[in-house]
Amino acid sequence: MLLLSGFAADAAGPGYFGYGKPATPAEIAGWNIDVHGQDGVGLPDGKGTIDHGADVFAQQCAACHGTFGEGEGRYPKLMGGESTLKGDRPEPSVGSYWPYVPTLFDYINRAMPLSAPHTLSADDVYAVVAYILNFNNIVPANFVADRDSLPKVKMPNRNNFTWKDPRPDTAAKECMKDCVDPKAVKIISSAEGKDLTPKTTGPLDTMGN
């Protein structure tokens, strides 16, 4: 089913193609699940404990990420990697790299588990986040994750992000002097007819054996 939001139902209105229907507020709300990383705006109601998170993690996450986030096979680690980010073999994990906890909730909520994304309840996601933070030694065993507590958690790597691009501006400036007249340019050779590439128009070149 195609949903059209913001288009006029009138055939004379812009963007009207004669199919679909306007999205209802409930349908829009179902897709409006983004959470702001720094302040947690968008976090839903609910809460989760570390003990419950251990159960959910064992059932939904451990097959790929290991019981304590150590990673299985080529699946990413969720713990460890402290003090490695400036080394030759950095290990970016939740504990060593992620700057904001609400971002972790957002990602798990929309993309995990891998085989059935966005199927966990808000309470389950809160609990998994609490469990991950705990095995990274970021929160104590009695921590309860909810919309108020998550933005207050300070991640180890929070202050090591820079929001100003340090790379120099290398954009080339357009030259407006001594310009060559495009009409005076003549193409003296091309790949056409050399069994290298098809023509842009007309039949394809005959490829040699």
Pairing of strands 3-4, 21-22: parallel
pLDDT per residue as tens digits for the range 132-144: 999 999 999 999 9
pLDDT of residue 145: 98
Mean pLDDT of the 79-84 span? 93
Angle, CA 184 vertex, CA 180 and CA 190 arms, to 5° = 105
User: Could you tell me which of 37, 43, 36, 48 has the C-alpha nearest to residue 98?
Assistant: 37
Q: 3-state class of 151 per DSSP?
A: helix
- The domain spans of the chain are 1-32, 33-160
pLDDT of residue 22: 85
Question: What's the topology of domain 33-160?
Answer: Cytochrome Bc1 Complex; Chain D, domain 2 (1.10.760)
> Which residues are bridge partners to 48 per DSSP?
145
Least confident of 21-25, 32-36, 199-203: 199-203
